[in-house]
Amino acid sequence: MRITRYVRLSALSAILAICLSGASAGLMAQTKKLTTAEAKDHIGEQATVCGRVASTRYAPTTRGKPTFLNLDKPYPSQVFTVLIWGDNREKFGNPEEKYRDKQVCVTGKITEYRTVPEIVVSEPQNIEVQK
């Protein structure tokens, strides 16, 4: 029985998709898990940072309409900040209420703003509420 080119391409596509999903899962498993205090030593790295949401703020009149989730200590003494820009806010529902006082782990690239480490998130799956 002769296999058509279409069937071969479909099979190769399926194999490639499986390999890529395995690689993606492997990369997620390799992501460093850090405390908020450790994050300052990992600026520029991809990591997961865990802490308690100590204060929140939605700033609808500020450029970009940011939502801030401050971990471990409330603003202005926050140890780490999770930033959700207004363009992505709708995906999170009401993040300042949803995550307030919750233990969370956030995954992404650690950057720094005014000496405070932060991760900018654009997808809800990047914030995991801990049980």
Average of per-residue pLDDT across 54-67: 98
pLDDT at 31: 80
Q: 2: pLDDT confidence band, cut at 50, 70 and 90?
A: low
- What are the φ/ψ torsions at residue 91 (nearest 5 degrees)? -65, -25
Name the residue with tokens 């002769």. Answer: 2
96 pLDDT above the threshold of 60? yes
Average of per-residue pLDDT across 30-48: 95
- What are the φ/ψ torsions at residue 29 (nearest 5 degrees)? -65, -25
Average of per-residue pLDDT across 74-93: 97
72 pLDDT above the threshold of 90? yes
pLDDT at 21: 46
Q: How many CB atoms lie within 10 A of CB 49?
A: 26
**One-letter identity of residue 93:** G
CA distance 11 to 13: 5
